[in-house]
Each structure stands twice: as structure tokens, then as C-alpha cells.
Structure 1
Amino acid sequence: MGLTEYLTFLLIALVATASPGPAVLLAVTNAVTLGMRRTLVAILGNVAGIVLLAALSSIGLGALIHTSEAVFQLVKWVGGLYLIYLGIRLWRSGLGRLPVGEVAVAARSPAQLFFQAFMVAVSNPKAIAFCTALFPQFIEPTAAMLPQFALLAGTFGLLSFTFLLSYALMASRCRGWLHNSSWGVRFNRITGGLFVGFGSLLLTTER
């Protein structure tokens, strides 16, 4: 892979990772409700999921989901319902007017937060389709696979981490204000509604 091809990949990856979606919403919500230390764990979980998708796509397994209607539908429903579940949990947490610092989306321990973000990454059929379409285009089949995969997946993972962390840091500045106002409840309801919206849109996704 030459410099031109890598720069093309870098540009596409920049746009993809900077665009808001479920992963960004989760990072923002965790930053406001749980603080940056736990949010960092969740971000690492999301990046791990992205790298796994990249690995599956690079070796061709992602094509199974891209071409099999049954597998695509299964992943779509799992991903959509999981996002709706997170949204309902967050919406309900706002009904009791709990302090923001005591509210989590659906998990509290670092392991749960990591797994939650990992699931948001790997259960999104759009992300799977994107990785399936993107990564094989930039891998030279006659060259060694591992160095190419390490470069592409490492770049994509680093960009994902950087943008998620940036969104989370910006959101964390509002944490104290939300903690001491009724806007904390409104925040939970708004973000919960957005999760339900993302999940509902995912359920209507067609190829």
C-alpha cells in the first residue's frame, strides 16, 4: 500500500470516526453521568469492538454478514434492540431525579462498561458493512497481511479513540452543572430518547 492509498484511507477514516453516532452518544452520556475515568474504560471497549470488526473484515468474514440476509437481519435486530434497551434504561433513570453521578446507562463496573461499549460497536450492521467495504479495498493481497492490517486497524482505532475522547471531554465540562440542576433529568431523557431513535432507525435499515 502506497502513501496515496494510505492518505485516502486516512481521509475516509477521519470522516467516519468524527461523525456522531451511537458510540459518540454513549461516550457523551458516560462522561456526564459517570465521569472521565469510567468513560475511558468504555471508550477502550468501543475501540476493541472496532478493531475486531476490522479484523473480521480484513480476513473476509465480514462479507458473510454483508451477503447473508439471515445473518444481516440477526445482527440488525440484536443491535437495534440493544440500543433501545439502553435508551429505556437511561430514560427511566431520569424519572427518579437521581443525582447525575449516581446514574449509569446500564452498567457500573469497569468490566460492564467495557462490554457495553464493545457491544454497541460490534452489533451495528452499518459499522460492519462499512468495515467490510473499506478495509479489503486497501489491503494488497500479494503483500504480507499482518503489517497492513496493523497499520489500517491501528489508524482507525486511534482515530476512534481520539474523537470519542474529545467528545467525552467536551461533555464532561457540563457534568457539574447537570449534577446540580433539573437539567440532569432532562439530559437523561433526551439522550435516552436518542438511543431509542438510533435503535429504531437501525431496525428499519435495509441493505
Structure 2
Amino acid sequence: MSEITILAFAFVAFIGIVTPGPTVLLALTNGSRYGIKRALAGMVGAVLSDFVLIGAVALGLGALLAASEFWFTVVKWLGAGYLAFLGVMLLRSKGTLNIAGKHDSADVTTTAIFLKSFLVAVTNPKGYLFFSAFLPQFIDLGLPQAPQYAALAVVFAAVDFAVMLGYAMLGSQAARFLKHAGAVWLERICGGALLALAGSLAVYRRAAN
């Protein structure tokens, strides 16, 4: 796999990741609520999910979801339900952002932050289908495929982490300048965005074979 292929993959991955999706929205809200250090747990969860998704695609799970209406539907509704749950929780929030440097961390563990981001990604069938269509474009079939998938997974995870860190820093800095009413509305906007993503996932259909 050439350096040009890696750079092209990283660029396309960046374009796809920087567009706000569930994990970057969680990075934004985690940075706002808990500060950068605690938000790192969510980023690690999302990065681990990248390796799980790419590994699953390399083993053929993406093809299974593309071929099986039943399993696609199961994963789809799990993902949509979890996103909707997170969206509702944010909509019901009372503005518990990191205002003036005060971290809302008393009743939320780093494990919970980690699992939230991890589960959002691994229960999204779009991720499996996306990687199934995206990754083979950068795989040289004349070379061993496992090392190539591993290299692409590392690159994608690195880009994903960098983008999420940027969103978390943005959220952390924005929270410092928000009054309570502004904190409430920022969380409601993020909650509404997650609900919209849940809705889009709920109506998402497999491509016809």
C-alpha cells in the first residue's frame, strides 16, 4: 500500500468524519459537560468502535448486513433506539455544561462515557455498510489484505480521534462563555441533532441487491 493511497484515504476519511455525526456530537457534548480529560474516555470508545467495525467488515459482517434484511433491521433499530434515548436525555437536560470550568462529573463515570460513544458506533449499520463500500477502494487485491485493513484502521482511527478532539475542545471552550440558558439550548440542539440522526437511521434502507 503506497503513501499516496494512505494520504488519499486519510483525506476522504477526514471529510466523512468532520461532518457532524453521532460520535462527534457526543465529543462536543462530553467536552462541554466534563472537560477534555473526561471526554477522552468517549473518544477512546469511538476509536475502539472503529477497529471493531473495520475488523468486522474485513471478516465479512458488512456483507452479511447488506445481504440479510433481518440482521440489518435488528442492528438498525438497536442503533436508532439508542440514539433516540441519548437525544431525549439531552433534550431533558437542565444545562449541566462545564460552565466556568465546573465539571459535571459527580454521577458520571469514565466507563459510562466510554460505553456511550462505543455503543453509538457499533449499533449503527450505516457504519458497517459504509466501510464495506469504502475500504475495498483502497485495498490492493494483489497483496495480503489483513495488513492493509489494519493499516487503514489505524489511519481512520487517528483521523477520527483528531476530529473528535477538535470538537471536544470546541465544546469545552464554548461552555466557558455560556450562561445557564445558553448551556440548556446547546444541549437541546445536540439532543435534537441526535434525534434527527436516529430518525434518519430508522428510515434507512438497505440497497437492493
User: Partners in 1 of 2:85 and 2:151 — Cα distance?
Assistant: 35
Q: Which residue of 2 aligns with 1:199?
A: 198
Any conservation in 2 of the 1:36–1:172 contact (CA below 8 Å)?
Answer: yes
Equivalent residue for 2:84? 84
Q: Is the 8 A contact 1:57 1:136 kept in 2?
A: no
Aligned length: 202
Shift of 1:61: 2.1
Q: Which runs of 5+ in 1 are unaligned?
A: none
How far is 1:202 from its partner? 0.9
1:127 maps to which residue? 127
Do the aligned residues in 2 keep the contact of 1:83 with 1:195 (CA within 8 Å)? Answer: yes
Mapping for residues 54-133 of structure 1, pairs under 5 Å: 54-94=54-94, 100=98, 108-133=108-133
Q: Could you tell me which amino acid in structure 1 is paired with residue 79 of structure 2?
A: G
Q: Structure 1 27/99 Cα, relative in aligned 2: closer, same or farther at 3 Å?
A: closer
Match of 1:9 in 2: 9
Contact 1:93 1:103 in 2 (8 A): no
Q: 1:99, 1:168 → 2: CA distance?
A: 12
Task: Give, in whole Å, the separation in 2 of the partners of 1:49 and 1:99.
Answer: 26
CA distance 1:4–1:98, change in 2 (3 Å): closer
AA matched with 1:62? G
Task: Return closer, same or farther for 1:4/1:99 CA change in 2, 3 Å cut-off.
Answer: closer
AA partner of residue 114 (structure 2)? F
Correspondences of 1:124-203 after superposition (within 5 Å): 124-178=124-178, 180-203=179-202
Structure 2 counterpart of 1:38: 38
Does the C-alpha gap of structure 1 residues 103 and 197 become closer, same or farther in structure 2, counting only changes over 3 Å? farther
Where 1:182 maps in the other structure, the secondary structure is: helix
Does structure 2 conserve the Cα–Cα contact (< 8 Å) formed by 1:28 and 1:168?
A: yes
TM-score, reference length from structure 1: 0.88
Over the matched positions of the two proteins, sequence identity in percent amounts to 35
How far apart are the structure 1 equivalents of 2:205 and 2:170?
A: 34
- C-alpha change, 1:5 and 1:99, in structure 2 (3 Å) is closer
Following superposition, the deviation at residue 14 of structure 1 comes to 2.0
Say whether the 8 Å CA contact 2:76–2:125 is kept in structure 1. yes
The 8 Å contact of residues 58 and 136 in structure 1, kept in 2 or not, is answered as: no
Moved over 6 A (4+): none
Deviation at 1:149, TM superposition (A): 2.1
1:105-158 CA-partner distances (Å, limit 9, x unpaired): xx8111111111001111112111111112233233443334212211000000
* Deviates further, 132-141 or 49-58: 132-141
Instruction: State the TM-score, normalizing by the size of structure 2.
Output: 0.88
Relative to structure 2, which stretch is displaced further, 80-89 or 193-202?
193-202
- Contact 1:58 1:135 (8 Å CA) reproduced: no
Q: Distance in 2 between matches of 1:25 and 1:36?
A: 14
SS in structure 2 opposite 1:200? Answer: helix
Cα pair distance change 1:99/1:49, threshold 3 Å? closer
Change (3 A) 1:10 1:189: closer
